[in-house]
Amino acid sequence: MTKIGDTILRVENLQKSYGDMKAVDGISFEVKKGEIFGILGPNGAGKTTTLEMIETLRSIDGGSASIDGVDVATQPYEIRGMIGVQPQAPGFQDKTKLTEIIQMFAAAYGEKVNPKKFLDEVNLGDKANSYIEQLSGGQKQRFSIVTALVHNPKVFFLDEPTTGLDPQARRNLWELIEEVRGRGISVILTTHYMDEAEVLCDRIAIMDRGKIIKLDTPKNLIKDLLDRGFTKEQKVEQANLEDVFIDLTGKGLRV
Amino acid sequence: MTLQQKLLTVWVFFRINLRRVFRDRLALFFTFLFPLIFLFVFGSLSHNSSISLNIAVINESKSPIAEQFAASLNKSKVVKVNKDVKTFSDANQRMSRGEVDATVELPANFGVVKDGLPAGNVLVHYTQNSEQAAQTLVSVLQATVQGVNAKIVTNKTPFTVSSRQTNEHSLSAFDYTFTGLLGFSILGAGIFGPINVFPELKKMGILRRLHTTPLRVWQYFLSTMMGQAVTGLLSIGVMFTVAHAVFGLKPVGNLAQFAVFVALGIVLVLGIGLAIGGWAKNERQAAPLGNIIVFPMMFLTGVFFPRFLMPHWLQGITTYMPLTPVIDGARMILTEGKTLLDLGPQLGVMAIWFVIIYAIAFRVFRWE
């Protein structure tokens, strides 16, 4: 049995090429149980390809990845039973009730669950009999997270989870991700929002051109930069526009 | 995962997706109403096929015999009198359009008593293209006239012709129409269904999302096959009921065996749809390939016209197309009272296609 702090995901010299282009060029990192791990980088840096290889969706050209000692390349079906995946744009079939979609996902993992309990966890209990097309963007994101957790996975992957959400929904999702981590599930996410990474992630890997160019806690990364003599124009304000927005419209989650 | 768990997965997918079909109005229309529309159109066409001659009758005589003669034509089973036609110009117009094959004229002096006996001449008008119809009509009328003559002038008739119906049940045009439409319905649902649905599921990332779960392709296929078999059988059940009630289809075979056989046909054809839809990345790949496969099958396997009308060499080739044994077998059970045991050749061809089609479908399937 793994304990909080034990290594759950181990990636060693992982590689993927498309023709001459090295999309992922020999990266290595480890993620601990109960950790929130962020992968940052510009578009085309290889973040999504990295996730997709670990998620068994893409073949691994070189190196290895293993979750709780199970090798990704050779035992993909075991891995799929151990991970939950939240894609960039979650899609579900229409004219299907939320409870039915949860039943289907649970069934895909060979399990029977009480869908209502899962919906209550993310404040969607009153939407149990709605169809997916009747949900707002934020609700869809929360629902999608539920479907990825029906089988109580060991590692939870989120690809740009808050893109396109309003500030309230974004904050709500952060809380949800913290909660998932609280259950001892390791979270690996990619994002383009630095504030998100700073608030959420225990450690961050910054990727560019297929390589990890820096890996540390957000605090150390900033300290490191300041130690090298970095300064930026001092801000006088103690608040930013988002603080104003939240102050005016409240933290309460909309639809 | 145990096998039992894996089958539970199939069952849950089947159950929920089946429920979903009944919430989708478009799917309901294409599954149930669309085949019925075709049934009504083709059914009424083939239903009227016993009436071979459309004629107009213009009676210019006032005599009671002329009236009787015209009335007897109205009752005839061989000709169909178009009662709208009253004038020669109208009749000529309709003949030139091919709407009426020939016009029967009873002149003003028809049936007028002359030399103590009623007499008259029936005149048949026809066009260049309706000579055959006119010949047939003339012989029909001659027989009628002879019957009348015999009543007026009694004489001996040493040679006669008579006819008697045999007890042999022969296939009507509608029997072919119905099993053809059944094939049409199986083709439509089995191929056009998946090639429309799968690219959509891929575009929305739904299949990709499922791919991150331990779900296997065979589980997904099996649940789809079960769903398709159920909706297909329901759809054909509705067609069957309407064909029975409206068009007088009289099944002589065992309906349970018919259902089993049709379900096998549905699953076979679905494999083609799964292969195309599963392979295609988007609609643009799926649609043309679907059409290339569907249209030849529609015209060559007996969907729209019976294969016995084809030249011999074409019949030989089309025997081995995947849909042919389905349509032939369904007709043999339904209208000839054959059993599954008699359908060895059909089931054999279907089994070979089943292996080929599903081997391809599994090999080319892509989750995204």
Name every chain B residue with its beta carbon within 8 A of the beta carbon of A155. Answer: none
Name every chain A residue with its beta carbon within 8 A of the beta carbon of B11. Answer: 107
Over 80: is that where the pLDDT of A83 sits?
yes
Q: Do A91 and B209 touch (CB under 8 A)?
A: yes
The predicted structure's pLDDT at residue A69: 95
In this predicted model, what pLDDT tens digit does every residue of B86-107 receive, in sequence order? 888 888 888 888 888 889 898 8
Say if B233 is an interface residue toward chain A (CB within 8 Å). no
Q: Report how far apart, in Å, the C-alpha atoms of B293 and of each of B134, B224, B275 are.
A: 43, 21, 12
**Nearest-CA distance A255 → chain B (Å):** 23
**Nearest-CA distance A173 → chain B (Å):** 20
The predicted structure's pLDDT at residue B221: 96
| DSSP for residue A133 | G
CA B239 to chain CA mean position, Å:
11
For residues B193 and B224, give the distance between their C-alpha atoms in angstroms, rounded to a whole number: 11
Say if B7 is an interface residue toward chain A (CB within 8 Å). no
Q: What average pLDDT does this structure show over B48-75?
A: 80
Q: What average pLDDT does this structure show over B4-33?
A: 92
CA A82 to chain CA mean position, Å:
15
Q: Do A55 and B208 touch (CB under 8 A)?
A: no
Confidence of residue A184 (pLDDT cuts 50, 70, 90): very high
Residues 6+ apart with CB under 8 A from A176: A122, A142, A145
The predicted structure's pLDDT at residue B17: 93
Task: Report the largest interatomic distance among the alpha carbons of chain B, rounded to a whole angstrom.
Answer: 103
How many beta carbons lie within 10 A of that of residue A25, not counting itself?
18
Name every chain A residue with its beta carbon within 8 A of the beta carbon of B367. Answer: 57
Query: In chain B, which residue's Cα lies nearest the Cα of A98?
Result: B16
Beta strands in B98-200 (DSSP E): 102-106, 112-114, 117-119, 123-126
For residues A47 and A168, give the distance between their C-alpha atoms in angstroms, rounded to a whole number: 26
- Name the residue facing A85 among B12, B16, B212 (closest C-beta): B212
Amino acid sitting at position B123 = L
The predicted structure's pLDDT at residue A169: 87
A window 104-133, beta carbon within 8 A of B = 104-105, 107-112
Buried b (16+ CB within 10 A) or exposed e, A116-146: eebbeebebeebbebbbeebeebbbbbbbbb
The predicted structure's pLDDT at residue B177: 85
**Nearest-CA distance B199 → chain A (Å):** 12
Over 60: is that where the pLDDT of B346 sits?
yes
**Nearest-CA distance A230 → chain B (Å):** 43
CB B55 within 8 A of CB B137: yes
- Name the residue facing A87 among B2, B16, B209 (closest C-beta): B209
**Residue A191's beta-bridge partner residues?**
A40
For residues B244 and B195, give the distance between their C-alpha atoms in angstroms, rounded to a whole number: 32
Interface mutation target, options B209, B210, B368, chain A, most CBs of A under 10 Å: B209
Interface mutation target, options A53, A79, A100, A134, chain B, most CBs of B under 10 Å: A100
In this predicted model, what pLDDT tens digit does every residue of A133-174 receive, in sequence order? 999 888 998 999 999 999 999 999 999 988 888 888 899 899
Q: Do A96 and B211 touch (CB under 8 A)?
A: no
Q: How many CA atoms lie within 13 A of B5 on its CB side?
A: 13
Beta strands in chain B (DSSP E): 53-59, 79-81, 102-106, 112-114, 117-119, 123-126
Q: What average pLDDT does this structure show over B262-284?
A: 95
* Inter-helix orientation angle B3-21/A98-108, to 10°: 150
A window 45-64, beta carbon within 8 A of B = 55-57
ipTM of the complex: 0.88
pTM to 2 decimal places: 0.82
Query: In chain A, which residue's Cα lies nearest the Cα of B198?
Result: A93
Interface mutation target, options B28, B213, B215, B220, chain A, most CBs of A under 10 Å: B213
- Name the residue facing B206 among A80, A85, A93 (closest C-beta): A93
